[in-house]
Amino acid sequence: MAKVRLADIAERTGVSTVTVHNALAGNKGVSHELREEIQAVAQEMGYLALPAKKAEKETGEFRTIGVLIAENYLAQYTTFYWKMYQELAVVATDKHCFTAVEVLKKEDEKRTLRMPSCIGEKQVDGLIVLGEIDKNYIRKLKLMSQVPVVFLDFYDKELAKDAVVTDNFYGMFLMTEFLFEQGIDELGFVGSVFATSSIMDRYCGFMKSMMLHGKNIHPEWVIEDRDEVGQMGFELPKKLPKGFVCNCDLAAVMVMEQLQQRGFRVPEDISVVGFDNYLYPGLADRKITTYEVNTRAMTKVALEKVLKQIRNPKSGRGMDVVSGHMVIKRSVKLKE
């Protein structure tokens, strides 16, 4: 006889797998009537629940992983992180885990430092923080949290050592080198260098390539692309380089739109490269040559790190770098 799963009970009762788990585990959030119904269906179907400790150890079925996303990452044009969360949810399902997403409000992050409710109410076994958040908030989070915390797409040598990031430095180095290989050697960088650690690393990759080719970095061609709260917007200088290295595909789209408005053609007149290979909803596909971030692999590594620490709190910590790859499209004028 096939083993009855929580998903089978959920399908029979018309509720989510999380609700079934909470009902059978005696957790809050399920009415008395629904709990009795789920328990009756489980008994009827012959569901055999492993003892909690054994289930956690052998199947991970009772693991709930919290995912914290800052509010500013869910604004217009910043849905790359929502896509990453969706990838994480899929990977978690494969690992027999539940994910519970919580949005970190700007006021809580910057002023009140209110901790996630999933931490205060002890609803999760581990926490994955998606994207860079305020360092004061991280300090309090690590002080108050009783569960493992892993940072995804952000690291800090003091506060966020246990992290998973893409290869920002080498990826942008490769993109800049690709432009030099095509004979394009007057280059600008688009990105607010001090906004996030990711943009800083990408700028450093750009800078290394420029230095290796003996090229000066012109201050007027290093363009801030966002304000203090992450709202994107900028204007290109009057004098333009032959190529733009953009910290993300959205910045690349904005560059191409401004160039078009000024009568320049991409790539015939000016070449543009991006980073992340993410097509933002509502924007036309500009066929940007870019560096694709392997979000599926990153989320898998992050989940494995947090599960490993749940099983063994003394397990090794540190930063994991996940490589992506170049995707050559149509935004760069190729050497004949």
At 82, the pLDDT band (50, 70, 90 cuts) reads: confident
Task: Report which of residues 321 and 86 the model is more confident about.
Answer: 321
Instruction: Say which residue, 122 or 94, is predicted with more confidence.
Output: 94
- HEC string of the chain equals CCCCCHHHHHHHHCCCHHHHHHHHHCCCCCCHHHHHHHHHHHHHHCCCCCCHHHHHHHCCCCEEEEEEEEHHHHCCCCCHHHHHHHHHHHHHHHCCEEEEEEEECHHHHHHHCCCCHHHHCCCCCEEEEECCCCHHHHHHHHHHCCCCEEEECCCECCCECCEEEECHHHHHHHHHHHHHHCCCCCEEEECCCCCCHHHHHHHHHHHHHHHHCCCCCCHHHEECCECCCCCECCCCCCCCCCEEEECCHHHHHHHHHHHHHCCCCCCCCCEEECCECCCCCCCCCCCCEEEECCHHHHHHHHHHHHHHHHHCCCCCCCEEEECCEEECCCCCCCCC
Name the band, by pLDDT with cuts 50, 70 and 90, for residue 36.
Answer: confident
Contact 109, 89 (CB under 8 A): no
Cite the residue boundaries of each domain of the chain with CATH code 3.40.50.2300. Answer: 63-166+295-322, 168-293
Tell whether the model's pLDDT for residue 26 goes beyond 70. Answer: no
Residue 55 has pLDDT above 60, yes or no: no
Which one has a higher pLDDT value, 32 or 129?
A: 129
The position carrying tokens 């399902």 is 93
Q: How many whole angstroms separate alpha carbon 140 and alpha carbon 135?
A: 9
Q: Is the pLDDT of residue 29 over 80?
A: no
Please report the pLDDT score of residue 52 as a whole number.
41
Amino acid at 35: R
pLDDT of residue 3: 65
Q: How far apart are CA 245 and CA 252, in angstroms?
A: 8
Q: What is the pLDDT of residue 303?
A: 95
Residue pLDDT, tens place only, 190-236? 999 999 999 999 999 999 999 999 999 999 999 999 988 788 999 99
Say if residue 59's pLDDT is above 50: no
Q: How far apart are CA 16 and CA 7, in angstroms?
A: 8
CATH architecture of 6-49: Orthogonal Bundle (1.10)
Nearest Cα to 191, choosing from 179, 177, 181, 206? 206
Asked if the 168-293 domain carries CATH number 3.40.50.2300, the reply is yes
**In the prediction, which pLDDT does 266 show?**
98
Report the share of the chain in percent with pLDDT over 90. Answer: 60
Mean pLDDT of 237-244: 98
Q: Which CATH number fits domain 63-166+295-322: 3.40.50.2300, 3.40.640.10, 3.30.360.10, 3.10.20.600?
A: 3.40.50.2300
Taking each helix axis as running N to C, give the angle between helix 6-13 and helix 17-25, from 0 to 180 degrees, rounded to the nearest 10. 110
Share of the chain above pLDDT 70, in %: 91
Averaged pLDDT score across all residues of the chain:
88
Give pLDDT, residue 264. Answer: 98
Q: What residues does 129 pair with on adjacent strands? A: 68, 151
**Stated pTM of the model:** 0.80
Total residue length of the chain: 336
Which residue, 6, 68, 76, 93, is CA-closest to 41?
6
Q: Where in the chain is the domain with CATH 1.10.260?
A: 6-49
Structure-token pair, residue 77: 């044009």
Rg of the chain, C-alpha, whole Å: 23
Q: For the segment 272-291, what is each residue's pLDDT rounded down to a tens digit?
A: 999 999 988 778 899 999 99
pLDDT at 1 over 70: no
Over residues 109-149, the pLDDT tens digits come to 999 999 998 877 667 899 999 999 999 999 999 999 889 99
Q: Is 263 left (phi over 0), alpha (psi -120 to 50) or beta?
A: left
Q: How confident is the model at residue 35 (pLDDT cuts 50, 70, 90)?
A: confident
Q: Residues 175-191: what's their mean pLDDT?
A: 98
Residue 15: half-sphere exposure toward Cβ, Cα within 13 Å? 21
